[in-house]
Homo-oligomer: A and B are copies of this chain.
């Protein structure tokens, strides 16, 4: 049996432990929700105060030049690039993940419309993050394409001569299951389709190698594992072989080849800059840069490979402790045990009370979150195909951010879970009232 002393010993030998000091971790909180909103980098408060009081307050309009505001999307993109296997000049931090997905999916459909007009299907995973499906649904309606939603095991079979684009999220938001990006990209290409990847739950959490996988397009999120702050701008990457080939429809002035010449006709900038649109929110970009700079410090300690080792050790420990200490309480495991198929989160399942258990844990300072087992039932609408699992168990979701979560944290989180289950604390009425937003 694993003990608290064991966990403390692993922390003591953890070479990444100093990175924890770069973050504000609230007293009395074990934060296992960094997959939803990353914690505050200690550098951010002073940095944003300087952006506000000096760059905005004193230097005003001059800061577009003197503070480098105008090139923030590219500067931050270059700090994201090494985390996702992209080169310098290939990434920009801008807009939201949804808006960026619209850009790259539009560009991808423009490519296939030229190269293979008979391909009229976008293939994706039914349990992909809904906003990705909504954006794809919208583009399909606009352009006469079909969105084909399948289960993970059905993806390869769904790739046919009708497939224009395979659009997947690398790590599933509900289960923490991770796709094999290289293999699926290769399968898409073998079928003559393009591969679009959403890295929302993988950038900064697991090593990503877009160039190595030969992917075509990618987007990702700034406020989860990149610790960029609430609603931080997202990012977008396009393989250099495609960048200059197609326009994206959100052709605003920041993507123009000469934005300050104010010409009436649009001429896209070369490279990834053409994936910018309008003026970007500088305060939020500056906060994102603070989050990214911690990864600069992490690079000296082994970078994403070291973070990945620690992440797997954390999630392995959590699974082991739950199975050792919470057995007999009806918990299941939704996240794959195989390392190659696991992101940086562990999702437990339970037929009853998952929501209340999460609330009881939050009251104890252990912050994870709840996801309904079968999202198709939420709207009162019937599932669109028979392959939906009806009545599937709800999910208790716990994210383990290797930058700041320790092994002792994992011990205490499981101890709290054990107590909540053993005492039936979760049955209290206050833990069973749903909020409007969770």
Asked whether B260 lies within 8 Å of A437 as measured between CB atoms, the reply is yes
Q: Rank and list the top 3 A-B pairs by shortest CB-CB distance, nearest first.
A: A96-B278, A261-B378, A98-B252
A336 CB–B CB distance under 8 Å: no
Asked whether A249 lies within 8 Å of B372 as measured between CB atoms, the reply is no
Asked whether B252 lies within 8 Å of A26 as measured between CB atoms, the reply is no
Residues of A in contact with B (beta carbons under 8 Å apart): 24, 26, 29, 31, 33, 36-37, 39-40, 44-45, 48-49, 51-53, 55-65, 69-70, 95-99, 102, 126-131, 133-135, 137-139, 142, 149, 174, 223, 229-234, 247, 249-254, 256-267, 277-285, 287, 362, 367, 369, 371-372, 375-376, 378-379, 381, 384, 435-438
Chain B residues lying within 8 Å of A126, measured Cβ to Cβ, are 264
A223, A231, A249: which has the most chain B beta carbons within 10 Å?
A231
How many copies the complex holds: the figure is 2
Docked complex Cα distance between A214 and B310 (Å): 60
A44, A135, A277: which has the most chain B beta carbons within 10 Å?
A277
A258, A284, A436: which has the most chain B beta carbons within 10 Å?
A284
Q: Output the nearest chain B residue to A252 by Cβ-Cβ distance.
A: B98
Asked whether B63 lies within 8 Å of A250 as measured between CB atoms, the reply is no
Asked whether B138 lies within 8 Å of A251 as measured between CB atoms, the reply is yes
Q: Output the nearest chain B residue to A24 by Cβ-Cβ distance.
A: B57
Q: Shortest CB–CB separation between residue A141 and chain B, in angstroms? A: 8
Q: Output the nearest chain B residue to A139 by Cβ-Cβ distance.
A: B249
From B57, B129, B249, give the contact of A102 (CB < 8 A).
Answer: B249
21 example contacts (A-B, Cβ-Cβ < 8 A) are as follows A24-B58, A33-B60, A37-B61, A52-B229, A56-B229, A60-B367, A95-B95, A95-B99, A130-B253, A131-B253, A134-B251, A137-B266, A138-B266, A223-B279, A231-B279, A234-B278, A257-B379, A258-B379, A261-B372, A263-B379, A264-B384
Docked complex Cα distance between A149 and B264 (Å): 9
Q: Output the nearest chain B residue to A379 by Cβ-Cβ distance.
A: B263
Asked whether A52 lies within 8 Å of B287 as measured between CB atoms, the reply is yes
From B127, B230, B256, B279, give the contact of A282 (CB < 8 A).
Answer: B230
Q: Shortest CB–CB separation between residue A123 and chain B, in angstroms? A: 14
Docked complex Cα distance between A58 and B135 (Å): 33
Asked whether B280 lies within 8 Å of A96 as measured between CB atoms, the reply is yes
Docked complex Cα distance between A36 and B64 (Å): 11
From B258, B265, B284, B384, give the contact of A384 (CB < 8 A).
Answer: B265
Asked whether B99 lies within 8 Å of A99 as measured between CB atoms, the reply is yes
Asked whether A375 lies within 8 Å of B232 as measured between CB atoms, the reply is no
